[in-house]
Structure 1
Amino acid sequence: MDFDHTDEQRALRDAVRGLLGTAYGTIQGRRDATAKEPGYDESMWSRLAAMGVLGLPFAEEAGGMGAGPVEVGVVAEEIGRVLAPEPFVEAVVLCGGLLARAGADVSGIADGTLLPAYVGGPGVTARRDGERWVLDGGASPVLNGARADLLVVVADVGGTPALFTTAGGERTPFSTYDGGRAARVAFDATAAGPLGDPAADATGLIAYARARAQVAYAHEALGAMERALEITRDYLRDRRQFGKPLSAFQNLSFRASDMYVSLELARSTVLWASMVLAERDETGGDGAGGDGAGGDRTQSGAAEGIEAASRAKLRVAESGRHIGQEAVQLHGGIGMTMEYQVGHYAMRLTAIEHLLGDRRHHLSRLAAAVGDHRAVNPLQ
């Protein structure tokens, strides 16, 4: 596999970095955006749409650019580098991915006029009420749930998950500890429209869309980890104690080196996972199912992509916790303050660890599948 970015991917990276740098070049820019509703800069969201970033993963006929997981990862990394609070992964990758695969119109997401939010978990059911479908139950947290124009809901229908959309529901907003926004959403016979056939089991479709979002979150974490390491490196180089820079103390240099190793382990795993998803997209392995041998290949490809996403999310959880904690500790007392930027990176890395399955969840999933792989005799 070739892990190098193409000229087009590097150009995309530079363009997004330049745009985000205008608002989030310093940590104060992020503080200003998250201090008021809706918790991100809506003008920046419109500028990302104008650049084509919000339509990146969608087909050209839907107003998108037809890009794949690698290009999406390039954007997510730049978001992570500056801790931009815009809901790119939640709205575009996860909700947009579900809507696009269900054949729904995603042009509003691409042009920035429609903000969707994902409602998952086991607490929502759907039922027929005369000629319409209604939702009952609730979920929390729903990221950007109070601001969202449309909720993309996973609901239980007779024991199997199905997808619905609704603009209703009672929404109680609150702030997340990393500065974002979320809501508690409650449904009480709330009118909804099905995405696809509500009688069909949407497990595979949902799992694959979540896998793509998990890898995108992993890329966001890569950007945050890389920047946290850079900040720490510069601090150790510039801060002096006993007449010498902190980088001259062997123990501190070794700890910074271990942070670099953690970053590169995560980077290689996440890039590999992105390329697995890209390959699955080319062969039609999107989890949508199929019949006969072609359907078997599709399901096999989707399973590989989902497993790769779990591996990436697990590795990022381990590396993110290590780098975030070490970045704070190597800064000493200043790293513990809200005024200094490195603590914000540690908080965001912790938040990403718990989005769409935490370390324990993905470790359990991978451990349960160990028996599906062949054993290797190292003596043969």
Structure 2
Amino acid sequence: MNFDLTSEQMLLKDSIDRLIANRYGSLEQREAYRKEPFGFSEATWAQFGELGLLGLPFSEQDGGFGGGPVETMIVMEALGRGLALEPYLATVVLGGGFLRLGGNAEQKARYIPQIVEGSLKLALAQSERQARFDLSDIATVARKTKEGYVINGRKSVVLSGDSADLFVVSARTSGERRDQNGITLFLVEADALGLTRHTYTTQDGGRASEITFSDVTVSSDSVLGAVDEGFPLLERVVGEAVAALSAEAVGAMEALHQLTVDYLKTRKQFGVAIGNFQTLQHRAVDMLTALEQARSMGMYAAMMLESNDVDERRSALAAAKVQINRSARFIGQEAVQLHGGIGMTMEYIGAHYFKRLTTIECLFGDTPHHLRQVAQAGGLVSSD
């Protein structure tokens, strides 16, 4: 199998790498962006639009550029290397994914061009306090009325919720709280009457919100996909987010490993660089091994997104997340140990990589959660 990038993909990689290197060349630049109103650089977001990155996964018919999972992987790796703050995951991968896979012609025509030009930002309002990582555990209720639906409930840890203009909201229209059937997805405007949000800074320097829906009225036209049948779409798009996060983690791990190797070459003890000590060399190699294992599984996740076998796709993504989580924890902890005290100071960018990797480890399922899914599927390789 050929894993080399095509010439077009190489051009994309060169473009995004140059942009991120320019916009995120130092910790000071990143901290300056965090102080902007929504916690990221609007100027950088505009450049994403100019380069076509915001329209990358959408079809040409919908106004995009017809990219696939590999193109998304390339972009997310670059964002991970730069510790970028822009809501690409929330808007393009998650919000855009729901529109791309579940939106009707009218919804696509209305919203996708705005995403592509950078004027519309989205967020997924899915997680609830009692649910942990169970996508079907939804207590938020949407009650049918003559005009449409009335939504009541609360969503937690809505990534980039403060900057979103439009939310994709999962709500229960029938069935019991943990049933997969009876879940419906809605598009809800951020300024809808009865919608309130409380925003806070996350441990990795990003933003998230608690969203409350109190008799929020939406029309029937706001339904994404079929009523009561939103779970397969929800699972599919969250799977794409897992693959995207895997790529971002690989980029962050690659940067942190390089940062650690450079530190070993310059930090001196007993009159010599500590990189001359064989034990530390072995530990740096162990970090590289973990990185390459994660990179392989990140590629595997991207390739398996296009599988039509739901069970095969689910187990592949779960297995990829397990390896990504393990590698992220190992590389992050080793980087801190090899750096010493400076590795935990907020004035050093290595600590910020560590915090982002730790956050990614818990997003959309931690290691035990995904390991359990792989086990329930009987592993990646059939025993028959």
Partner SS state of residue 114, structure 1: coil
Q: In structure 1, what is the Cα distance between the partners aligned to 2:31 and 2:368?
A: 31
| 1:276 CA displacement | 2.0
Match of 1:115 in 2: 121
| 1:22 CA displacement | 1.9
Question: What residue ranges of structure 1 are gaps of 5+ in the alignment?
Answer: 286-299
TM alignment of 1:191-210, pairs within 5 A: 191-193=217-219, 194-210=222-238
Match of 2:288 in 1: 260
Match of 2:53 in 1: 53
Partner SS state of residue 64, structure 1: coil
Q: Which moved more, 1:5-14 or 1:220-229?
A: 5-14
**Structure 2 residue 260 is the aligned partner of structure 1 residue 232:** yes
Match of 2:374 in 1: 366
Give the TM-score, by structure 1 length. Answer: 0.90
CA deviations 1:163-222 (Å, max 9, x no partner) are 101113110111111111111100011023433455341211111111111100100000
Q: In structure 2, what is the Cα distance between the partners aligned to 1:14 and 1:371?
A: 37
Question: For residues 115 and 64 of structure 1, do their structure 2 counterparts lie closer, same or farther at Cα, with a shift above 3 Å needed?
Answer: same
| 1:342 CA displacement | 0.4
Q: In structure 1, what is the Cα distance between the partners aligned to 2:381 and 2:5?
A: 31
- Indicate conservation of the 8 Å contact 2:56/2:72, yes or no: yes
CA deviations 1:324-363 (Å, max 9, x no partner) are 1111111111111100010000000011111111212211
One of 158, 165, 168 as aligned partner of 2:187? 165
Give the TM-score, by structure 2 length. Answer: 0.89
* Aligned residue identity for 2:67: A
Partner SS state of residue 53, structure 2: coil
Q: In structure 1, what is the Cα distance between the partners aligned to 2:37 and 2:368?
A: 33
Match of 2:346 in 1: 338
Corresponding pairs, count: 356
* Aligned residue identity for 1:61: Q
Match of 1:84 in 2: 84
| 1:62 CA displacement | 1.5
* Aligned residue identity for 2:196: E
Q: In structure 1, what is the Cα distance between the partners aligned to 2:301 and 2:63?
A: 26
CA deviations 1:43-66 (Å, max 9, x no partner) are 111110111001100011222111
- Indicate conservation of the 8 Å contact 1:166/1:192, yes or no: yes
- Indicate conservation of the 8 Å contact 1:125/1:156, yes or no: yes
One of 241, 262, 284 as aligned partner of 2:269? 241
Q: In structure 2, what is the Cα distance between the partners aligned to 1:224 and 1:9?
A: 20
Match of 2:37 in 1: 37
Question: For residues 257 and 68 of structure 1, do their structure 2 counterparts lie closer, same or farther at Cα, with a shift above 3 Å needed?
Answer: same
* Aligned residue identity for 2:28: Q
Q: In structure 1, what is the Cα distance between the partners aligned to 2:33 and 2:124?
A: 22
Match of 1:9 in 2: 9
Which consecutive segments of 4 or more residues in structure 1 shift more than 3 A? 371-374
Q: In structure 2, what is the Cα distance between the partners aligned to 1:353 and 1:179?
A: 15
| 1:258 CA displacement | 0.5
Question: For residues 339 and 318 of structure 1, do their structure 2 counterparts lie closer, same or farther at Cα, with a shift above 3 Å needed?
Answer: same
Match of 1:156 in 2: 172
Percent of counterpart pairs with the same letter?
41
One of 213, 216, 232 as aligned partner of 1:190? 216
RMSD: 1.5
Partner SS state of residue 260, structure 1: helix
* Aligned residue identity for 2:342: I
| 1:150 CA displacement | 0.3
Question: For residues 371 and 45 of structure 1, do their structure 2 counterparts lie closer, same or farther at Cα, with a shift above 3 Å needed?
Answer: closer
**Structure 2 residue 154 is the aligned partner of structure 1 residue 138:** yes
